[in-house]
Amino acid sequence: MTSKPISTIMLTAALSLAGGSLAAEELTLLVGSNPDSIAIAEALTAAYSERNPDVTFEIETRPGGSEGDNIVKTRLATGEMTDIFLYNSGSLLQALRPARTLVPLDNIPNRRNILDSFMRTVSDDAGSIYGVPVETAMAGGILYHVPTYRQLGLEVPQTWAAFMANNARIAELTDKAPVIQTYRDTWTSQLFVLSDYFNVQAEEPDFDTRYTNNEAKYASTPAALKGFERLQQAFEAGYFNADFGAADYNDGLRMVATGEGVHYPMLTFAVAGIQQNHPDELDDVGFFAQPGDSTDVNGLTVWMPSAYYVAKGGDHVDTAKDFVNFVATVEACEIMTEAVGATGPYLIKGCTLPQSVPAAVADMMPYFAEEGRTAPALEFLSPIKGPALEQITVEVGSGIRGAGSGAELYDRDVEKQARQLGLPNW
């Protein structure tokens, strides 16, 4: 861990000698650079410090995507990680070797509040859990500009063909970008592929098992290849915003909120960012699942939220565990809702959504209400997710590489990770 300044050490010692029940502690917390992640961290830490005046927090931010992923891995490997950090649940967590690098949270009192469906995504093979969910479950699909749909008389598409027909009409009748892409933040390029997993599993129900066992590939499984093909089709049709290579995530939020663009393939956690940055346009943004080939199969790919983790070797492990224990409460859910709104169902027992939610969240909830209309994203069913996917989808979405070539390259990327994890049959 990083050493504390001498002045901080002297202050802590002085407070302890003065007879305080607890020595003053300053914990460090690393989160992503998204506005909602920062706002939630600020709200939760402020609430905890109000209840524990001897504890303060320093919040640090990191980039998203592979750059931020490498920062987390490097800081864990070198012992320079913050006391607490925000990171993915699911397959990316397993690549951190949590039993070696993280503090187990099995004995925190509020462990019982965490839904089983989430605990499986932050556990190791021995059954120990390492993370507490932050924010809500989210879905991958298409954010869209509702006023443009009303203006053009468009209907929410339930097939890919209908989606592309809507794009064609937008391109013909307006000067808006039919599809927003924001490749400056490379992670945003993955959504057409990742959000298509509901459609993949509808055609190939055992794909996740065969994929993990090295018995199925993206390039040789037509249902899985379609996500890459759909990204290529949207690019080749000329439907992207002209600055798609330079635009970033916040540009994408602005464009879909203001109607500069009409469709933004994205995770629904972006609703919180729109609420933060464009509150007056919040209800101008709707949401629908990424369409497949048939109206008979129309459902939502669901992501579990990220979690707070406690790094091993820290100076404040007990207090860090107490903080994440606080995050696993109904009170913490209410604090998060007040800070950024609710963008989906919480994974803490007893947490509810407010009666009034943004339009995009209301659009998402019917999928959860109907049996068989949601499926977990592949990264929550298989430990394999290749780290280079976002670079590959940038190439496919920029016309540098075809869909088939991109899928083949991703299959090779996955092979490296599977071997690193020691999976059988690889």
Q: Given this chain, do its domains 6-133+306-340 and 139-303+363-420 carry the same CATH topology?
A: yes
How large is the average pLDDT for residues 218-225? 98
**Residue 125 reports pLDDT greater than 60:** yes
166: nearest Cα among 254, 298, 291:
291
How large is the average pLDDT for residues 402-408? 98
How large is the average pLDDT for residues 117-134? 92
Element holding 273 (H helix, E strand): helix 270-277
Q: pLDDT at position 369, please?
A: 80
Work out the mean pLDDT of the chain and round it to a whole number: 92
3-state SS, 170-239, equals HHHHCCCEEECCCCCCHHHHHHHHHCCHHHHHHHCCCHHHHHHCCCCCCCCCHHHHHHHHHHHHHHHCCC
Residue extents of the structural domains in the chain = 6-133+306-340, 139-303+363-420
How large is the average pLDDT for residues 414-420? 89
Q: Collapse the DSSP code of 328 into the 3-class scheme (helix H, G, I; strand E, B; otherwise coil) and give the result.
A: coil
**Residue 4 reports pLDDT greater than 70:** no
**Residue 12 reports pLDDT greater than 80:** no
**Residue 231 reports pLDDT greater than 70:** yes
Q: pLDDT at position 10, please?
A: 37
**By mean pLDDT, which of 16-25, 126-135, 258-267, 378-387 is the weakest?**
16-25
pTM summary value: 0.75
pLDDT digits (tens, 9 = 90+) for 85-114: 999 998 889 889 999 999 999 999 999 999
Domain 139-303+363-420: top CATH class? alpha beta
Q: pLDDT at position 104, please?
A: 98
Q: pLDDT at position 7, please?
A: 38
How large is the average pLDDT for residues 133-147? 95
Percent of the chain surpassing pLDDT 90 = 80
pLDDT digits (tens, 9 = 90+) for 361-398: 999 989 988 888 999 999 988 988 888 999 999 999 99
**Residue 30 reports pLDDT greater than 80:** yes
The domain 6-133+306-340 is classified under which CATH number: 3.40.50.300, 3.40.50.2300, 3.30.465.10, 3.40.190.10?
3.40.190.10
What distance in Å separates the CA atoms of residue 152 and residue 163, rounded to the nearest whole number? 14
**Residue 23 reports pLDDT greater than 90:** no
